[in-house]
Amino acid sequence: MSDFDTTLSSLGINSTSKTADATTSNTTSGSTTLGQSDFLKLLTAQLNNQDPFSPVDNTQMVAQMAQISTSSGVSDLSTTLKSIATKLNSTSTSDAVSFVGKTVLTAGSTAYGRSAGGIAGAVELGAAASDVKVTISDASGNPLKTLSLGNQAAGTVKYDWDGTTSGGTAAGSGPFTVSVAAQNNGATVKATGLVWAPVESVSVPSSGTPSLNVTGIGTVAVSDVRQVG
């Protein structure tokens, strides 16, 4: 028996029947727990039935009120946090539009050269690898240069190509096709190539989340953007 039940019992109130009635009422309305209004009803009954020569202890009453207040406050806080989480996990149209004119790092195989020449990118490794390679080819698929990144831990590995072919000549401004491969002592490791590409525009559907239209890649979800340049 709880302190609250003990208090009601000492006042001659059958707490079991009253709690059962309240619970039954709540069950009928779809709830199986006592809410703030139920607490206030019990508190009123407690005051109405108390012995005037032995009133309820003030400290105990304050503690009971603080208990329901805390419970209600936690419930309200939980609701607020859920609303904030939903907002943070969603992308508004204005958020998506802010990407237009910028370059983003995302999964893809087509990259455009920088004004200074060459490209930068990254490889996402699903596990540690003893040998990671990045092959850069021209628009026709002819290999220009293969970068060996060597032994790497799982995660994101960055690379930077200076724009010269394996023969030492300038490769031009592209577009270039980038392919990646990784092995760990002969076993294939999952590898995803990430390239930098400009955002041309934003698609805003009548319902759903806005998406980015990225040069050389196509439609990209905002959640798939790894970095913004």
Listed in sequence order, the residues at least 6 apart from 125 whose beta carbon sits closer than 8 Å to its beta carbon are 132, 152, 153, 154, 155, 156, 157, 182, 189, 190, 191
Rg for the chain (alpha carbons), in Å?
A: 33
Number of domains the chain contains: 2
**pLDDT digit string, tens, across residues 4-25:** 556 545 545 454 444 444 444 4
209: Cα separation from own chain's centroid: 15
Residue that is last in its domain, among 89, 113, 137: 89
Q: Which of 42, 58, 89 is the last residue of a domain?
A: 89
Say if residue 118 is in the same domain as residue 170. yes
Among 69, 64, 53, which residue's Cα sits nearest to residue 7? 64
Q: Do 164 and 219 fall into the same domain?
A: yes
Shared domain for 82 and 10, answered yes or no, is yes
Tell whether omega for the bond before 175 is within 30 degrees of 0, i.e. cis: yes
Domain final residue, candidates 89, 120, 153: 89
Q: Is the pLDDT of residue 107 over 80?
A: yes
Q: Characterize 129-147 residue by residue with b for buried, 16 or more Cβ atoms within 10 angstroms of its Cβ, and e for exposed.
A: bebbbbebbeeeeeebbeb
Residue 95, SS3? helix
The reported pLDDT for the residue numbered 213 is: 93
C-alpha span between 153 and 174 (Å, rounded) = 30
37: containing domain: 3-89
Tell me which of 29 and 101 has the higher pLDDT.
101
User: How is 29-74 classified by DSSP, letter by letter?
Assistant: TT--S--HHHHHHHHHHHHHTSBTTBPPPHHHHHHHHHHHHHHHHH
Beta carbons within 8 Å of 121's beta carbon, 6+ residues apart: 105, 111, 134, 158, 159, 161, 178, 193, 194, 195, 196
**Residues 215 and 129 both lie in one domain:** yes
pTM metric for this prediction: 0.59
Give tens-digit pLDDT for 161-204: 999 999 999 999 889 999 999 999 999 999 999 999 999 998 88
Residue 108 has a pLDDT of 95
Query: Do 164 and 104 share a domain, yes or no?
Result: yes
On the question of pLDDT at 99 being above 70, the answer is yes
Pull the structure tokens for residue 80. 């607020």
CATH number (domain holding residue 187): 2.60.40.4070
Shared domain check, 99 and 212: yes
* Same-domain status, 11 and 70: yes
Tokens of 75: 């419930």
Number of Cβ within a 10 Å radius of residue 185: 9
Could you give the count of Cα atoms lying within 13 Å of 172 in the half-sphere of its Cβ?
Answer: 8
